[in-house]
Amino acid sequence: MTATKKAPSRVLSLPARIYLIFYNAIQFLGWSFLLYKMVDFVINQGLGGKSLWEHVEVPLLIFQSGAILEVVHCACGITPSNTVITFAQVYSRVFLIWPILYNVPDARDQIGFSLLLLAWTVTEVLRYLYYVLNLISFVPGILLWCRYTFFIILYPAGVTGELLCCYRALPHYNKTQEFSVLLPNAWNFTFNFYYYTILVMLAYIPVFPQLYTHMFVQRKKILGNKKHD
């Protein structure tokens, strides 16, 4: 890793810093709005699936899709994260919102989508606020604690929700063969979106434990040190 990647707050250029504050602030506001809409819905109508989706659909699609920019940020070096890992994380989100939730109404499972939305909104509100404040070197301890503690419940909850929604989308792709390439064709190639979705779901098995334990390692490193100050 280069010095730039380890300490961006020291080496980041002013335009890049301003841009990132701007980007993260917009995301923070967007996800706060989504959190508000979700809470508003749940208070008035209880847990929901399809109707909850309709209540949050547009801002969810906009702000989650916006996260694609974060892959570009890594590739350009203005954020220190690993590009491949960020790509994998953003990919799983975009996969959920477009081909699963947007395209297949049956995927908007009552429990699955509620869990997913809860996990995503709370996590992202904390994450983007943390990034904004980190860029101006002013992170309150309580925020740091929340960011590195809430994931313990939210991460598994979110993954459960995501897998449930994917599972509910499978019958549609199996039946309609949408987004699939069938034989015969000149290049003897096939692509089956139904099996691809199953593959994506299976990928959670090796990936989730690794990311989950990585967060615990980070927690020990970051919160462990703060305790001694």
CB of 13 to other proteins, least distance (A): 33
Cβ-contact 162, 208 below 8 angstroms: no
| 188 touching other proteins, by CB under 8 A | yes
| 187 touching other proteins, by CB under 8 A | yes
Q: Toward other proteins, which CB reaches closer, 138 or 189? A: 189
Class of residue 169 by CB neighbours under 10 A (exposed 0-12, middle 13-18, buried 19+) = buried
Q: Which stretch binds other proteins (CB under 8 A): 16-24, 122-130, 143-151, 179-187?
A: 179-187
| 142 touching other proteins, by CB under 8 A | no
Question: Which of 70, 207, 225, 219 is closest to 147 using CA atoms?
Answer: 219
Please identify which residue in 2, 13, 184, 205 interacts with other proteins, judged by CB under 8 A. 184
> Quick check: helix, strand or coil at residue 145?
helix
In this structure, the number of other CB atoms found within 10 A of the CB of residue 171 comes to: 13
CB of 191 to other proteins, least distance (A): 10
191 forms beta bridges with 181
CB of 187 to other proteins, least distance (A): 4
Question: Which of 45, 11, 8, 10 is closest to 24 using CA atoms?
Answer: 8
| 189 touching other proteins, by CB under 8 A | yes
Q: Toward other proteins, which CB reaches closer, 185 or 210? A: 185
Question: Which of 108, 118, 112 is closest to 57 using CA atoms?
Answer: 108
| 183 touching other proteins, by CB under 8 A | yes
Q: What is the binding site for other proteins (CB under 8 A)? A: 183-190
